Amino acid sequence: MKNINLKRKTYETEISLDLRPFSSKAYTLDTGVPFFDHMLTHIAKHGQMSMDLKADGDIEVDYHHTVEDVAIVLGQAFDQALDDMTGVNRYGSFTLPMEEVLCTVAVDIRKSPHFEFRVPAEFTGLMGNFDCELVKEFFRALAINSRMNIHILVHYGENKHHISEAIFKCFAKAFAIAASSDGSQNLYSTKGSF
């Protein structure tokens, strides 16, 4: 994976991202939405990447535009960083406990987007002032813009914060596995391309 710099500006948001995969350098995340910054920290830390992310959005209206547009930019960065799939593992999955929550995330970074999101019925409404539905919207936009298969399954759990945190951590771990190289010259596709 290579380093990527991206900027995106719309009437609703302005986002800049400097992504350094498999880096131990520090990360800075500022979306104006503290809970969302907290979740993105898990992607950086557990995904073994450094990122400087700045998002200015119309959060006085709603967090939706900022969350979705950050996912669009991050997804595009992942896609560009993985333009050479030679030796890349392609698949990754991870299961982790987070207090009473058990979560599994599986990814396939094969350049064909698909998204599945299976969570307990209790994962709805607000966590503080952050809507649970934005977790789903973030990963849906990430899957589409990274051209990745992302399957999220929360087996059980009740605490909304724990469910959200487990999903973000678990995705990060699964993505790091899938995006890592095995050092070979193999392209893991029987088509010979992606």
- Kindly state the percentage of the chain with pLDDT values over 70: 95
- Which domains are present in the chain? 4-179 (3.30.230.40)
Pairing of strands 28-30, 13-21: unpaired
In terms of DSSP H, where are the helices of the chain?
34-46, 64-81, 133-146, 160-179
pLDDT tens track for 141-167: 999 999 999 999 999 999 999 999 999
**How confident is residue 187, by pLDDT bands cut at 50, 70 and 90?**
low
Instruction: Look at the pTM and tell me if it is higher than 0.95.
Output: no
pLDDT tens track for 121-134: 999 999 989 999 99
Asked if pLDDT for residue 190 goes beyond 60, the answer is no
For residue 130, list its beta bridge partners: 127
Q: Which residues contact 16 (CB under 8 A, 6 or more apart)?
A: 5, 6, 7, 52, 53, 54
Average pLDDT, the chain: 91
